[in-house]
Amino acid sequence: MTRLTAKGAATRGRIVEAATDLVLARGVNGTSLDDIRAGTATSKSQLFHYFPGGKSELVSAIAAFQMDRVLAAQRPWLDTLDTWEDWDAWRDAVVEHYASQTHNCCAISSMVTDLLVHDPERAAEVNGHAERWCAYLTAGLRRMSEQGKLRADADPERLAVAVFAALQGGLLLMQARDSIAPLEAALDGALAALRSFRL
């Protein structure tokens, strides 16, 4: 896409933000371009001006926007995670973020599930955002290991995946039960397991 003016970038951003809320409510497959045009008060020509690749390109932009929003909610703790206090604060930030959302789900995982059958290449791209999220956890645990805060047999990457899997499982149950309690329980259990490796 050609370089946008400040006004054009703002318009594109407005479309992405509004479209994100529609996709969160209806899913990728349940949201058409006509739905997005109506929900964002955008003409067809305007929509394709900002997203010449159509819905696939818009989905990519939505995934990036939503992931940035989720990561921002976990900062500043997500950028360190090298003390137990950071992990506790991170846990609280995650719970606070999802408790404040209208839609009880992990948007990235939901998008990947929606895309797997019809657009596996896009699904892999969107899943890359989840991998980036998990990488922050791995980086924090590596720092803790280097600082001598974890046992020698602790594998930072494996532990990070375990925490991230608990987080995603908690989000799935949160959606099914329409309650934040499963997410809280999953994170508390994950951090308790993590602490079993502390020195």
Give me the residue label for tokens 């008060």: 41
Angle subtended at Cα 174 by Cα 171 and Cα 178, rounded to the nearest 5 degrees: 150
For the chain, the structural domain boundaries read 6-195
Report the 3 state secondary structure along 51-88: CCCCHHHHHHHHHHHHHHHHHHHCCCHHHCCCCHHHHH
| Whether residue 76 has a cis bond before it, omega within 30° of 0 | yes
Residue range 6-195, CATH number: 1.10.357.10
**Alpha-carbon torsion angle 69, 166, 123, 105, nearest 10:** -50
| pLDDT tens-place values along the chain, 199 residues long | 557 788 888 888 888 888 888 888 888 888 888 888 888 888 888 888 888 888 888 888 888 888 898 999 999 999 999 999 999 999 999 999 999 887 766 777 777 777 776 778 888 888 888 899 999 999 999 999 999 999 999 999 999 999 999 999 999 899 889 899 999 999 999 999 999 999 9
The sign one gets for the Cα dihedral 95, 97, 102, 107 is negative
The answer to whether the beta carbons of residues 81 and 141 sit under 8 Å apart is: yes
pTM of the entire predicted model: 0.85
Q: Which of 164, 163, 183, 165 is nearest to 173 (CA)?
A: 183
Contacts with 176 (C-beta within 8 Å, 6 or more apart), sequence order: 182
